[in-house]
Amino acid sequence: MTTPSGETPPPPITEGERRGLLDAVSVIPDPRNRHGVRYPLPALLTVAVCAVLAGATSFAAIADWLYDLDEADQQRLGFTRGVPAGTTVWRLLIRLDATLLSKVLAGWLHTRTQPVTARPRRYRTVIAVDGKTLRGARLPGGRQTHLLSALDTSTGIVLAQVTVDTKSNEIPAFTPLLDAVQAVLGSLTDVLFVADALHTQAGHAEQITSRGAHLLLQAKGNQPTLFAQLKAVPWAQIPVGYRTRHRGHGRKETRTVKAVTLHTPGGIAFSHAQQAVRIARTRTTGGKTSRETAYLVTSLPAAAELVGSVDLTVFPA
């Protein structure tokens, strides 16, 4: 649609764009005693978020970003009684509930995305679950901070992330992550969750499907029975469902995707699995060719058209 002048009209203003960051973080409870509060919490949080986006990696750098603002901008944010020192910023931020703050920011970012008015026929919300260790961030015991995150692949927004317990791994953090994503989206019905082999757990499958969502999980050595069954499928007899070819920087790469519904007694040896998927990758670099294969399971039935719902080439073979 274009205007009479030929220009494309601006997209409609979203709820999140009507509600700025300063207003969004105002729902965060202030851990300080109300008496003697000199600097408003929403202003400090807004500064912290903006400073980090600008590249700040320390509490001192956050304070420096605030100092560099014009006095008029500082007052517009709410700093009418001067600006805090870096130690003040540190003392406040470490007292906040990081999970709640992450939830509020993710929810606000989600409301700023443009609504999908006309979805393609094969459109599906895809959430990629992945763990990452933060550089330069350490817990009181000296261990690096490890987060489990849920990324909306269509918008690039991290909808939720939870800190992995120092005495555990990512597996127990999966259910709290699903809870956080559901709190942001409101419902997980028909959402597809993609994760690596670590999360190919029967308990995870139950958690996902009980909320009306679907799974696409990779099988490796941590699930030897499932892996052996997937590998034994007569893949040579199954037609190719999807193929991509890429060239660049002296490298050629081809990825071939096959998917099949198994009609065997008991089905696939994994809870709620409907289809088996194989991704074969062939890469040629400098005259040398390497081949790798990945096996996956999904709770999507064949009628759901898996290929097109998600870019299967994101999985390393």
Strands 288-298 and 275-285: antiparallel
Q: Cα(106)–Cα(97) distance, rounded to whole angstroms?
A: 14
Residues of the chain with pLDDT under 70: 1-19, 114-123, 135-143, 166-167, 263-267, 304-317
Directed axis angle between helix 98-111 and helix 174-185, to 10°? 40
pLDDT of residue 9: 62
Q: Which of 75, 73, 1 is nearest to 39 (CA)?
A: 75
The string of DSSP letters for 176-211 reads: HHHHHHHHHHS--TT-EEEE-GGG--HHHHHHHHHT
Query: Mind listing the pLDDT tens digit for each residue in 13-72?
Result: 555 556 688 888 888 998 888 777 888 899 999 999 899 889 888 888 888 998 898 888
State residue 60's pLDDT score. Answer: 85
pLDDT (0 to 100) of residue 317: 45
**pLDDT at position 139, please?**
58
Question: Per-domain residue ranges for the chain?
Answer: 29-96, 216-317
Contact indicator for 192, 124 with CB cutoff of 8 Å: yes
Model pLDDT, residue 295: 93
Predicted local distance difference test score (pLDDT) of residue 57: 81
Query: What amino acid occupies position 185?
Result: L
Which of 117, 200, 184 is CA-nearest to residue 151?
Answer: 184
Determine phi and psi for 206, rounding to 5 degrees: -65, -45
Residues 210, 204: Cα–Cα separation, whole Å: 10
Return phi, psi of residue 180, to 5°: -70, -40
> Between the CA of residue 19 and those of 24, 125, 151, 159, 261, what are the distances in Å?
7, 24, 23, 18, 47
Nearest to 43 by CA among 20, 11, 14, 13: 20
* pLDDT reported for residue 255: 92
Q: Which amino acid would we find at residue 292?
A: E
Per-residue CA distances from 95 to 32, 41, 43 (Å): 9, 12, 16
Residue 256 is predicted with a pLDDT of 92
Contact 129, 194 (CB under 8 A): yes
pTM: 0.72
Q: Which two tokens stand for residue 138?
A: 């350490």
Coil, helix or strand at residue 82? coil
